């Protein structure tokens, strides 16, 4: 089953945007995390069953830096929670979607993640994520 896990928002500065979203949502973020593989810092806000993930680039070659340069701040991706990321990737590939990460990688928030290319999803970057069970 696919359900929305979080919405990722690209920001220039977590230091500026985390307090802004705290004001907006009436609560503070519950954690920040550095994701070395993506060269980003993240801050997570919990909203019921869903989350908002703010993403700031930590290097010029970060995907978030490239996004900010091209489009500016804003919604970056929608993340779907799946039970079995490998089988979902296989299913979506067979349906004709373009997969960016054929092999899921370690993302933020204790998740395996893989992205679908926005050119196959009406311009929306889609992240699939699966909780890593320890
Ligand atoms: Zn995400």
The rounded Å distance from CA 7 to ligand 1 centre is 7
This prediction has a pTM of 0.93
β-partners of residue 8 are 53, 77
CA distance 77 to 129: 12
β-partners of residue 47 are 50
pLDDT score, position 80: 97
Q: What is the chain written as a DSSP string? A: --EEEEEEEE-S-HHHHHHHHHHHHTS--SEEEEEGGGTEEEEEEEETTEEEEEEEESSTTSHHHHHHHHH-SEEEEEEEE-S-HHHHHHHHHHTTPPBS-SS-EE-SSSEEEEEE-GGGTTT--EEEEEEPP-
pLDDT, tens digit, 9 for 90 and up, residues 58-110: 999 999 999 999 999 999 999 999 999 999 999 999 999 999 999 999 888 89
pLDDT, tens digit, 9 for 90 and up, residues 14-63: 999 999 999 999 999 999 999 998 899 999 999 999 999 999 999 999 99
The rounded Å distance from CA 117 to ligand 1 centre is 14
Q: Is the pLDDT of residue 133 over 90?
A: no
- Locus of tokens 């550095």: 34
Per-residue pLDDT band for 1 (boundaries 50, 70, 90) equals confident
The rounded Å distance from CA 77 to ligand 1 centre is 7
- Locus of tokens 């340069």: 69
Q: Is the pLDDT of residue 134 over 90?
A: no
The rounded Å distance from CA 96 to ligand 1 centre is 22
pLDDT score, position 123: 95
The rounded Å distance from CA 98 to ligand 1 centre is 18
């Amino acid at each position: 089953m696919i359900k929305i896990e979080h919405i990722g928002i690209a920001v220039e500065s977590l230091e500026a945007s985390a307090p802004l979203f705290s004001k907006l949502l009436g609560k503070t973020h519950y954690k920040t995390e550095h994701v070395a593989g993506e060269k980003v810092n993240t801050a997570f806000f919990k909203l019921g069953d869903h989350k908002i993930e703010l993403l700031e680039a930590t290097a010029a070659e970060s995907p978030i830096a490239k996004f900010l340069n091209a489009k500016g701040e804003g919604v970056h991706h929608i993340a779907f929670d799946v039970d079995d990321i490998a089988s979902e990737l296989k299913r979506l590939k067979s349906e004709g979607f373009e997969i960016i990460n054929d092999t899921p990688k370690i993302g933020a928030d204790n998740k395996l993640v893989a992205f679908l290319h926005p050119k196959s999803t009406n311009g929306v970057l889609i992240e699939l994520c699966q909780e890593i069970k320890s």
